[in-house]
């Protein structure tokens, strides 16, 4: 495990904290490289959570890590931006992030065919076989950088650099739920039907968002994800078993 220190974040307080309406503040990290800023935002959220647990900060209702910042939402009847800035500022000087701290989640994916309509075009564009595209997609453990605009939508960074592609020039009006797409150095799995412009190369047989569960969202910021390949028969079986509660996603520390 690699521990990264962000002690330089103690500087520039005047532009570190930004207003986000009457019940939110944004802690800005954009003077760091993007990957480090993402990690710093997570680390700060974790540090604030520990202080909340010690009952040393009150009134915080939610924390949302972004790529280069952390949004803190609070109850203005309980606390204020000034109080929170005073409480949070000392945490920046001793902030650390453990790169191996997130859960490792293994997710099956059926690549190509009707589930991955863009896979042949992706392979041609990158001058690869479809099998090589799939192999490279599975080769890296991906990092859940941030959560997106749909419940359960995770932006996962760390896709093999050889698969770097822009989004499609013309987005689709409808992308089926659980479709897996790639663009830039990222992967997403659409948790619900949605418009979208990512390059679709597969589909997963498990829900990333299930409103019926007590913990409805599978992935969270800081998790690590490894995809593994399954065929259509395995896809159908896992899909059926998952819906009946007979398939559990493999999650390890």
pLDDT of residue 55: 80
**Are 82 and 139 in the same domain?**
no
State the Cα–Cα distance between residues 228 and 219, nearest whole angstrom: 16
Beta strands in 39-185 (DSSP E): 60-65, 69-74, 96-98, 104-111, 142-147, 154-157, 172-175, 179-183
**Are 77 and 142 in the same domain?**
no
Identify the CATH number of the domain in which residue 36 sits. Answer: 3.30.1360.40
Cross-strand bridge partners of residue 155: 146
Q: What is the number of structural domains in the chain?
A: 2
DSSP per-residue letters across 69-85: EEEEEE-TTT--HHHHH
Q: The tokens of 199 are what?
A: 């390059």
Q: The tokens of 34 are what?
A: 């993007």
The whole-model pTM stands at 0.80
Which residues, 6+ apart, have CB-to-CB distance to 182 below 8 Å? Answer: 122, 137, 159, 163, 165, 198, 199, 201
**Are 39 and 111 in the same domain?**
no
Identify the CATH number of the domain in which residue 111 sits. Answer: 2.40.100.10
State the Cα–Cα distance between residues 113 and 44, nearest whole angstrom: 42
**Are 122 and 231 in the same domain?**
yes
**Are 109 and 94 in the same domain?**
no
**Are 214 and 113 in the same domain?**
yes
What would the pLDDT profile of 161-193 be if each residue is shown by its tens digit? 999 999 999 999 999 999 999 999 999 999 999
Position 14 pLDDT exceeds 80: no
**Are 86 and 207 in the same domain?**
no
- Select the more confidently predicted residue: 102 or 133: 133
State the Cα–Cα distance between residues 146 and 156, nearest whole angstrom: 8
**Are 114 and 20 in the same domain?**
no
What would the pLDDT profile of 84-94 be if each residue is shown by its tens digit? 999 998 888 88
State the Cα–Cα distance between residues 31 and 223, nearest whole angstrom: 24
**Are 90 and 120 in the same domain?**
no
Full domain range(s) for residue 92? 3-98
Q: Which of 103-112, 169-178, 185-194, 208-217 has the lowest mean pLDDT?
A: 208-217
**Are 54 and 117 in the same domain?**
no
pLDDT of residue 147: 87
Which residues, 6+ apart, have CB-to-CB distance to 68 below 8 Å? Answer: 28, 29, 30, 32, 34, 37, 38, 41
Cross-strand bridge partners of residue 73: 24, 62
Task: Choose the final residue of a domain: 65, 80, 98.
Answer: 98
State the Cα–Cα distance between residues 224 and 101, nearest whole angstrom: 9
């Amino acid at each position: 495990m690699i521990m990264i220190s962000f002690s330089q974040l103690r500087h520039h307080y005047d532009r570190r904290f930004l207003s986000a309406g009457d019940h939110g503040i944004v802690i800005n990290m954009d003077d760091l490289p993007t990957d480090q800023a993402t990690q710093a935002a997570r680390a700060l959220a974790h540090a604030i959570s520990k202080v909340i647990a010690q009952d040393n900060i009150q009134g915080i209702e939610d924390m949302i890590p972004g790529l280069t910042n952390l949004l803190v939402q609070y109850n203005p009847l309980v606390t204020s931006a000034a109080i929170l800035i005073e409480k949070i500022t000392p945490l920046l000087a001793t902030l650390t992030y453990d790169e191996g701290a997130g859960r490792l989640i293994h997710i099956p994916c059926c690549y190509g065919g009707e589930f991955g309509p863009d896979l042949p075009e992706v392979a041609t564009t990158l001058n690869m076989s479809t099998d090589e595209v799939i192999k490279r997609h599975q080769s890296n453990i991906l990092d859940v950088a941030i959560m997106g605009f749909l419940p359960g939508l995770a932006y996962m960074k760390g896709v093999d650099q050889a698969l770097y592609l822009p989004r499609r020039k013309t987005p689709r009006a409808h992308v089926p739920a659980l479709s897996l797409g790639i663009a830039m150095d990222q992967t997403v799995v659409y948790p619900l039907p949605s418009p979208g412009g990512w390059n679709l190369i597969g589909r997963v047989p498990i829900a990333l968002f299930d409103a019926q569960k007590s913990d409805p969202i599978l992935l969270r910021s800081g998790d690590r994800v490894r995809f593994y390949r399954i065929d259509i028969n395995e896809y159908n079986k896992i899909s059926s078993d998952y819906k009946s509660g007979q398939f559990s996603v493999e999650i390890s520390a």
